[in-house]
Amino acid sequence: MSSDLYREQLLDHYHNPDNFGVLENADVDIEMDNPTCGDMIHLTARLDNAGRVSEVMFEGQGCVISMASASMFTEHVKGKTIAEITAMGLSDIEEMMGGVKLSMGRVKCALLPLNAMKQGLKESKGAV
């Protein structure tokens, strides 16, 4: 599985992540970590007037899977509503990452950006 896991597409995102950085005055601003692995993500996002995600940026450190997932996630969720993001799960993330099959141990790495986004949206609800 692992040689497949380290395919070019994911390594490209890992080495040259999209939307790497921090949005000022963001609607969503959250840090989340996987304490057992040491993966950390700081996710910021803005919503438009229709309640859709318009901009997302992330910074953080972690394994190839968590960082590639975060990079792809910042593009993937643009234009999505809160309800659409809330409904996302592991299969969506696996599909987003080009159809990888994640082993049990790597699932929480890949889900870190989605979980951060869900938590961030929950915390910002009152503010938006």
Per-residue DSSP letter, 118: H
> With binding defined as CB under 8 A, does residue 104 bind another protein?
no
If one asks whether residue 91 binds another protein (CB under 8 A), the answer comes out as no
Cα 43 to Cα 63: distance, rounded to the nearest angstrom: 16
Work out whether 107 is an interface residue with another protein (CB under 8 A).
no
Nearer to another protein among residue 9 and residue 61 (C-beta): 61
Give the tokens for residue 115.
């979980």
Strand intervals (E) in 1-128 = 28-34, 39-47, 53-61
Torsion of CA 111, 71, 87, 78, to 10 degrees: 170
**Among residues 96 and 112, whose Cβ is nearest to another protein?**
112
Token pair belonging to 4: 């497949």
Backbone φ and ψ for 99, nearest 5 degrees, come out as 85, 25
Stretch that binds another protein, among 8-16, 20-28, 78-86, 111-119 (CB under 8 A): 8-16
Q: How many residues bind another protein (CB under 8 A)?
A: 21
* Positions in 12-51 near another protein (CB under 8 A): 14-15, 35-40
User: Of 61-80, which residues contact another protein (CB under 8 A)?
Assistant: 61-65
